[in-house]
Structure 1
Amino acid sequence: MRLTRNLAAGFAFASAVVAGVVAAPSAPAQAQAQTTSFEIVDLAAAKKTVALTFDDGPSKYTPQILDILKRNKVKATFCMLGNNVGPYAATARRVVREGHRLCNHSRSHPNFTKLSNTAARNQVVWTQNKIYSVTKVRPKVFRFPYGASNSRTRTVVRAQNLRILGWTVDTRDWSRPGTATITSRAVKGTRPGAVILMHDGGGNRSQTVASLNATIRQLKAKGYTFVLA
């Protein structure tokens, strides 16, 4: 069977991602936290699928994002900080109740490459336990803060039976570039199998909230189906 143009493009894009040439760190400290490696889950890149992911919550903005996702019948992946789960326990439970995926994003968002093995493990395990105590669900996915990792810290994470999640599209919404810019970056950067990085916590996320409906609408218009990362 001959590969269609979309199929070939999808595999080429996925190969670039695995090689670590597509994704980039996306937080104010990214200049100090160079990403050394990425692992992107295979999202059936040959099909027009895309995954929305939200980092650094839960926060007061998360319910607004959940409302938009619900109206659009879209599921997403929420990479939660352990320190935020307790104060926003009801929101964390809502994420689970409405069918979204939980992702461990560490307890306090450190650069893992600067942590000892013990400190890195404590960040991961504490957050796993906290999320479980609140939601009764243990995440099966982990995303490194800033995307910063090395072979040592990846070994620590995998020892907890966690899959490492990267991204292929960085909206850089944390910089608050404007709602239209966030949407444009998400839509223009998306290829089949894309993982879009946005934030529902860590600062003022009103622009992210305001951009989300247009982002979803435009991606749907391009024929994309939303999947969990």
Structure 2
Amino acid sequence: MRSAVKLAVALLLGSLIVVAVYRADGDKAAPTAVKASPPVVSAQPSPSLRAAEAAKVQTPAKKKPRKPVAQAQPAARKKSKRTVSLTFDDGPSPYTPKILNILRRHRVKATFCLLGANVGDYRKTARRIVREGHRVCNHSRNHADFTTLSRSAARANVRKAQRKIRNVTGRSPKTFRFPYGASNSVTRAVVRGEGLRILGWTVDTRDWQGPPAAVITRRAVRDVRPGAVVLMHDGGGERGPTVASLDRTIRKLKAKGYTFVLA
């Protein structure tokens, strides 16, 4: 009797489970659908959720643009740098110490193109040029016109001046400036063969003509450009106007934003 009751209950329960899993359209669910396991939540997001996530990926938040940093452009900074080199030819002479005093007062360094023949007569001044941080340049032994010299004569002239400057000052020049700026392919080859860089100029104050100090200053300041090399003289004649012009020339160049570098 008990066995019959248990069998009837089992059949009834089976019928209820089958009825419960019928689909809404009347189809039967697969038999595996009746497995008594906990409901599984799908790991796949809904279409609307996928669209929202895709929108987030495709449209990142806009960042505020950064202002360009000028320091990150060294090339541009170099172009805007205003430098000038002051150079003095034909010394040393009695005027050179006065020029050195003005340069020291303004804390400006310059390049002195020395004649070998003068260095021996003004040893103390030549040594002072080096001691105070200025640069020495070979300007030949005796201010000869190098376009009239043979290869051997040009070489001897350069070497004698080089040796004299080195013996007196303890410093070997690395540059050479031709007297009068006069040279040819032969003499230029000689100078370069001695390991010297040829130094020219871009601004000629023509102080050797003896103009007033105001004219020398006006020429130097008017014609200067960034990177300019200014030609003046501390020897070779009356250089009082050059000395008198130098203080005002330096002040005006500084007022225009120039800094002074060695040539």
- TM score, norm. by length of structure 2: 0.70
Q: Which runs of 5+ in 2 are unaligned?
A: 1-67, 69-74
2:125 aligns to what? 91
Deviation of 1:46 (Å)? 4.7
| CA distance in structure 1 between the partners assigned to 2:80 and 2:111 by the alignment | 21
Larger radius of gyration: 2
**What is the aligned length?**
190
Deviation of 1:167 (Å)? 0.2
Deviation of 1:150 (Å)? 1.2
1:139-170 deviations in whole A, cap 9, x for unaligned? 00000000011111100000110000000000
Identity %: 69
Report which structure shows greater RCO (CA 8 Å, sep ≥6).
1
> Which of 156, 159, 178 lines up with 2:193 in the alignment?
159
| CA distance in structure 1 between the partners assigned to 2:79 and 2:126 by the alignment | 29
2:235 aligns to what? 201
| CA distance in structure 2 between the partners assigned to 1:47 and 1:169 by the alignment | 18
Contact 1:169 1:190 in 2 (8 A): yes
- AA aligned to 1:174 is W
| CA distance in structure 2 between the partners assigned to 1:56 and 1:94 by the alignment | 16
| CA distance in structure 2 between the partners assigned to 1:212 and 1:60 by the alignment | 16
| CA distance in structure 1 between the partners assigned to 2:97 and 2:198 by the alignment | 26
Equivalent positions of 1:69-88 (< 5 A) are 69-88=103-122
Contact 1:45 1:193 in 2 (8 A): no
The alignment status of 1:147 with 2:163, answered yes or no, reads no
> Which of 191, 204, 217 lines up with 1:170 in the alignment?
204
| CA distance in structure 2 between the partners assigned to 1:138 and 1:118 by the alignment | 21
Contact 1:54 1:198 in 2 (8 A): yes
Q: Secondary structure of the equivalent of 2:230?
A: strand
Could you say which structure has the higher helix fraction? 2
2:257 aligns to what? 223
2:21 aligns to what? none
- TM score, norm. by length of structure 1: 0.81
Aligned CA RMSD, in angstroms, stands at 1.6
| CA distance in structure 2 between the partners assigned to 1:135 and 1:97 by the alignment | 9
User: Which of structure 1's runs of 4+ aligned residues deviate more than 3 A?
Assistant: none
Deviation of 1:47 (Å)? 1.7
Q: Secondary structure of the equivalent of 1:174?
A: helix
Q: Which runs of 5+ in 1 are unaligned?
A: 2-6, 9-43
Contact 1:46 1:193 in 2 (8 A): no
